[in-house]
Amino acid sequence: MRVLLLTGLYPTPGRLHEGAAVARQCEALRAAGVEIDVLHGSPAGVWQRRRTLEALRRAAARGRYDLVHVHYGLSATGLALLQPLPFVATYHGTDVNGYPFCAWREVGRALAWSGAAALTRQLARFARAVIVMTEAMRRRLPPAVQRKTWVEPMGVDTTLFRPRGRDAARAALGWGPEPIVVFCHPGGTAQKRADLAAAAVGVARRRCPDLRLVVLRGLEPARMPLALSAADCLLLTSEREGSPNVVREALACNLPVVAVPVGDVTDLVGAHPACGLVVPREPARLGAAVLEVLARPRSEAPAALMQRHSAAASARRIRAVYAAALGCREAA
């Protein structure tokens, strides 16, 4: 099976963190026996999209590939429609859900992204198969699209994200011995609710003055497992999510999570004894949950959960999606 992956999300020199999960998925698919090449085209700018389209059409015309797999959003879906091969589309969150209104300074972004998401949901009709991160995302698609949609969040590379010694991880990062809560924030967006995370930690500091909030932004992929192993808690306060990779990665590192119920977080952490799911999303409740988690002994994530969400298991299921899209019978 030969696949061309078209994506605007992929690591580049100087921005190794962008699209790291997509790159890991490609490696897992290769290990599962899929011949896969990557065409990375930035979605920004008309001329850049035109160059990407020309490269895509040249690749399709060579006759090497069976299908195209597009990752993320309106631009990639639109390009896939302008080439002759069947395509599978993966959507990650805002590309189907739209962008929540979180602040007046982002009203333009919310309107533009939500409009693009509405169009993407309709264009998904032309895909042979669709992959989304959560069941809630699947339900937002038109009924005809839902019938050819698989729920398959991005897998976790369990050779990288695994339990490590906390003290050794802190030494490698240069962190001190104080309690540390980590918060993953790419910057430039209010929907992650960094303000709520800071307020929650501020509440917790009234009883734990040494508590430190570390914002993980632009961290190299190789250092992310260290950060999750070195921390005492991951805090997630987003207004909206698809399926946040960092939650599954934290659980693979045995890092407790305190989160609000967004995306599939309830399924991931709701029954985990070392984690906390907080409703409503108020600083006082989140701060209290952080303190409770810090006081509990750590416990491992259920083995069945991590096996299901491993990159290798996910790749086998995606290979089965490819086979279905091509009308083949193939073992998952």
Say if residue 105 is in the same domain as residue 181.
Answer: no
Q: What is the pLDDT of residue 331?
A: 43
Distance CA 246, CA 127 (A): 28
pTM score, whole prediction? 0.89
Answer yes or no: is 160 within a domain.
no
* 160-164, 183-187, 212-216, 301-305, range with the lowest pLDDT: 301-305
**In angstroms, what CA-CA distances link 125 with 79, 137, 313?**
14, 15, 27
Q: Is 174 exposed, middle or buried (0-12, 13-18, 19+ CB in 10 A)?
A: exposed
Q: Does one domain contain both 197 and 317?
A: no
Span 226-252, average pLDDT: 92
Express each pLDDT in 273-297 by its tens digit.
Answer: 888 999 988 999 999 999 999 998 8
In angstroms, rounded to a whole number, what is the distance separating the alpha carbons of residues 177 and 237? Answer: 25
| Average pLDDT over every residue of 215-236 | 91
Give the domain extent around 179.
166-306
pLDDT one-digit tens code per residue, 143-196? 999 999 999 999 999 999 998 899 999 999 999 999 999 998 876 667 889 999
d(CA 277, CA 254): 16
* 33 pLDDT above the threshold of 50: yes
Residue 331 lies inside a defined structural domain of this protein? no
- Together in a domain, 27 and 148: yes
Question: 101 and 11, same structural domain?
Answer: yes
My answer on whether 100 and 172 are in the same domain is: no
297 in the same domain as 280: yes
In this structure, the answer to whether residues 270 and 314 fall within a common structural domain is no
Q: What is the pLDDT of residues 7-16, one digit of tens each?
A: 988 888 877 7
Q: Is residue 178 part of a domain?
A: yes
The structural domain count of the chain equals 2
- pLDDT(90) > 70: yes
What CATH code is carried by the domain that includes residue 202? 3.40.50.2000
Residues 75 and 218 in one domain: no
Looking at the fold, whether 151 and 37 belong to one and the same domain comes out as yes
